[in-house]
Structure formats: C-alpha cells, structure tokens
C-alpha cells in the first residue's frame, strides 16, 4: 500500500529554518523529520512512499539520491566510478518523488498524484510525528467501508491554563491542559480512490471542500488517537521534538 506524504508547503511559520530548506528536511536529531515520519510507517511494514514535492523540491530529491552514499562506508574506483558498499543498507523503502508545483494546495497536490494511486492509500503531512499504530488505523478504515478516515488527536495546549476569579486571583492552574473536548485533524489519513471525485484543481485545499464534502456525504470517519502526536509549526515545536529525541527514548518509532 502506498503512503503519500505532503512535502510541498512553504513552512512560513518556521521561517528560521525553512528559508534554506523545505520544512520536511528540518532535522530532528541527525535526520530530517521526513525520515522519522517515513520510518514510522516502515516500522509497521509500509515502505512504498510517494512524496508530493513543491517548495525547494530539489533539496528532498538530493537527499534521497545521495542517501545511500552518505549513510554508508564504501570503496570507489575513481577511474571507472564503480562503487562498492561495505555494509548492506538497513533501508528497503521505495520512494516516488513527484514535483506537484510550487503554489499548489494540499488537495491539488494529491490530485496530481492520481495516476500513482489506484487502490487504498494512506496520506499524511511532512511535519508531524506520532506513536499511532498504523496497522490499527488501517484495520479501522477497512472495518467501516467509507471513502476516508482521518486521525483525530487532542494535542496539549501551548501554554498553561488559568482560572481567575473576580479579584484576579488565580484559583486554578494546570500546565499544558488538553484543549477542551475538541478533536483536531492530526493527519494520518486513509483514502479510497473515490477521494479524487472530491478534488477539482491545483487550488483545492484538501481540508476544506473535499473533507467537508466527505463529511456531508457520510463518507468520513475519525480514528481517535489519544497517544503522542506533535506537529512542527514553530521553532518551539522543533525544540520539543529535539528534547524527545535527546531523551534517547522518543515516543515515535525510531528503530533506524
């Protein structure tokens, strides 16, 4: 089963990093967040990827073109150019890298990949990590028979919550509380090919009319995930993910 990862956005809220590289190439530890996301899927046996590129697409292409060379010890014959690697690669993924346009919206990027996606497929964003069990997500999707499944998450609030009385006295404080009862779109979608009926052109935003239409038609189901989930919108988010990595026991799969 193919997994689409949306990698084409400008990442303007993380401009400290993305002025030089696309957001999926921002490093968490020694590797780009994109690698960590792909490894999360590969951990559950899903190793066939389609990357929807856009902003600074060449950076992601260069990373994968040079991955084996930079990640291995090798011997090279400078006369013939023949290269022999001293150790086998641990990575057995297949990756389609497709330039879906600089200014294309999320739904438009997916629409441009239609010819690659002939059966059930997964999709997520190139800037979020989770400890979601991908196979349980797929089992849920298969159980309901609808066109689409979205993973619903309830992230912690960015700041501590305060309850203040009339005299401005703090009656209650809780650090990083859950954000009420509201679930939000956490990515980690599963789609049937019928999703393409809901996509119009490059300017289609997946999170607007397509998902709204699927919901209206009773074709969108939510897989509720209460475990770890963290997007990387800001430098603060990146630092939080770095802290998890440096703990030597990050909550997302990190077996490679």
pLDDT average, residue stretch 21-40: 95
* CA dist., res. 61 & res. 66, Å (int): 9
Look at 241 and 169; give whichever has higher pLDDT: 241
Q: What would the two tokens of residue 189 be?
A: 């979608």
- Which residues does residue 51 pair with via DSSP β-bridges, in sequence order? 5, 97
* Closest among 120, 158, 112 to 139, alpha carbons compared: 120
Lowest pLDDT segment from 5-19, 68-82, 180-194, 199-213: 5-19
What is the tens place of the pLDDT at every residue in 140-149?
999 999 999 9
Give the residue, 145 or 180, on which the prediction is more confident. Answer: 145
Confirm or reject CATH 3.90.550.10 for domain 2-246, answering yes or no: yes
Query: Whole-angstrom Cα distance, residue 216 to residue 146?
Result: 13
Provide mean pLDDT across the span 79-83.
91
CB burial string 68-83: b at 16+ within 10 A, e below:
eeeeeeeeeeeeeeee
Quick one: pLDDT at residue 168?
38
Give the mean model confidence (pLDDT) for residues 229-247.
Answer: 94
Residue 36, pLDDT above cutoff 80: yes
Taking only the tens place, the pLDDT of each residue in 186-225 is: 999 999 999 999 999 999 999 999 999 999 999 999 999 9
Does residue 159 have a pLDDT over 60?
A: no
Roughly how many angstroms between the first and final C-alpha of the chain, as a whole number? 21
The kind and range of the H/E element at 237 are: helix 235-246
d(C-alpha 175, C-alpha 158), whole Å: 9
Model pTM score? 0.89
| Whole-number pLDDT of residue 87 | 86
Q: Are 48 and 124 in contact (CB under 8 A)?
A: no
Mean of the per-residue pLDDT values for the chain?
89
């Amino acid at each position: 089963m193919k997994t689409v990862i949306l990698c084409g956005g400008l990442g303007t809220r993380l401009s400290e990093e993305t002025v030089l590289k696309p957001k999926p190439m921002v490093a968490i530890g020694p590797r780009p967040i994109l690698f960590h996301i792909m490894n999360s899927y590969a951990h559950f046996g899903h190793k066939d990827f389609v990357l929807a590129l856009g902003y600074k697409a060449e950076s992601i292409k260069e990373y994968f073109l040079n991955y084996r060379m930079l990640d291995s010890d090798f011997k090279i014959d400078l006369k013939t150019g023949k290269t022999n690697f001293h150790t086998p690669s641990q990575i057995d993924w297949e990756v389609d890298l497709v330039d879906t346009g600089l200014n294309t919206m999320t739904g438009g990027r997916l629409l441009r990949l239609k010819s690659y996606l002939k059966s059930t497929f997964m999709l997520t964003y190139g800037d979020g990590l989770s400890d979601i069990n991908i196979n349980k997500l797929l089992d849920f999707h298969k159980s309901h028979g609808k066109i689409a499944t979205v993973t619903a998450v309830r992230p912690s609030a960015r700041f501590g919550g305060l309850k203040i009385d009339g005299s401005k006295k703090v009656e209650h404080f809780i650090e990083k509380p859950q954000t009420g009862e509201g679930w939000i779109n956490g990515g980690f979608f599963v789609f049937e090919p019928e999703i393409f009926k809901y996509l119009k052109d490059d300017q289609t935003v997946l999170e607007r009319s397509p998902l709204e239409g699927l919901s209206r038609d009773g074709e969108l189901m939510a897989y509720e995930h209460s475990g770890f989930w963290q997007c990387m919108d800001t430098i603060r988010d990146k630092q939080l993910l770095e802290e998890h990595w440096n703990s030597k026991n990050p909550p997302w799969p990190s077996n490679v």
